[in-house]
Homo-oligomer: A and B are copies of this chain.
């Protein structure tokens, strides 16, 4: 006999990518998101889930919907852009980040061949998920691309114990002839804050060295880690790079600083208003780029014990279905009116 609660446990669902996107878009639309914005967000969340970036996937749906419902995210926002030479200023208008990133990518693909290098400066933005997926789209269009983002305060300046910088991710992609692009995507904390968030949600401890408690002491309690600060990758150097990203993503773009930004998770307070910067590099003046990159990649993989950064993301891409955990099916279904 099954245990008494078994009937109430929703089984995991196997959905095709379009089914999963439609499901999430419907949930976001029910909360008050414009259909095209909802589709942009849904596509990004499903792609992150498939790429194994679960902290940027389905786990965000309920929180995103709540932020639209409360007005923290403007569900009907229309991103707009203004161009000055090789610089594109994008106002995400306190909506979701993904429609603004979509606009930036489309414009950068037009601009970069003309200007050699082109930059998108996105302000009044929100959580932009896995940065690697955005630069990958630029690489699929034949460009190299570098992206930085600031995120709500999570890391202390080196030597301090209060959060000031976000985990401030950096991503890079470059096209490979006949293969998916090379994609590098990392946060400047030792581990992504999403992993601590996921552990907190799952009630699991975190390894020591990931986070510090509010008094600056190492902790294995994800709740204490979320209240405290994340440890920067590479210690002082990671903290210094977080400052660089902060200045590029927030101050050069005109976005909120990490310590001015509200949470990406809860539905309270003003919009986070963070920023993203994307740089796109045309490769027509980089002689033999594709062949030379293959040579570099071969030299990496010729050494035992190495792997190409980002290669794990490709493993699940050929699957016809994506697994949606039962508890998330519950959450999403509850959102759909």
Contact = CB atoms under 8 A, between A and B. Distances in A.
Interface of A: 84-87, 89, 114-119, 121, 144, 146, 156-162, 164, 170, 172, 174, 182, 184, 186, 188, 190, 232-235, 237-238, 240-241, 243-244, 246-248, 251-254, 257, 259, 279, 281-283, 285-287, 289, 292-293, 295-296, 299-300, 303-307, 309
A286 B251 contact: yes
B186 A115 contact: no
Given A303-B160, A303-B162, A243 B184 contact: yes
A233 B243 contact: no
Number of copies: 2
* Interchain residue pairs A-B with the least CB separation, the first 3: A87-B116, A234-B234, A160-B303
A186 B237 contact: yes
A283 B288 CA distance: 34
A97 to B, nearest CB: 19
Nearest to A87: B116
Contacts of A296: 243, 246-247, 251, 257
Nearest to A289: B251
Q: Classify the interface of chain A: helix, strand, loop or mixed.
A: mixed
A116 B292 CA distance: 30
A115 B87 contact: yes
A260 to B, nearest CB: 9
Contacts of A86: 85-86, 115-118
A174 B247 contact: yes
Most buried by B among A160, A289, A304: A160
A304 B158 CA distance: 10
A304 B304 CA distance: 45
Contacts of A281: 119, 248, 252
B285 A89 contact: yes
A305 B159 contact: yes
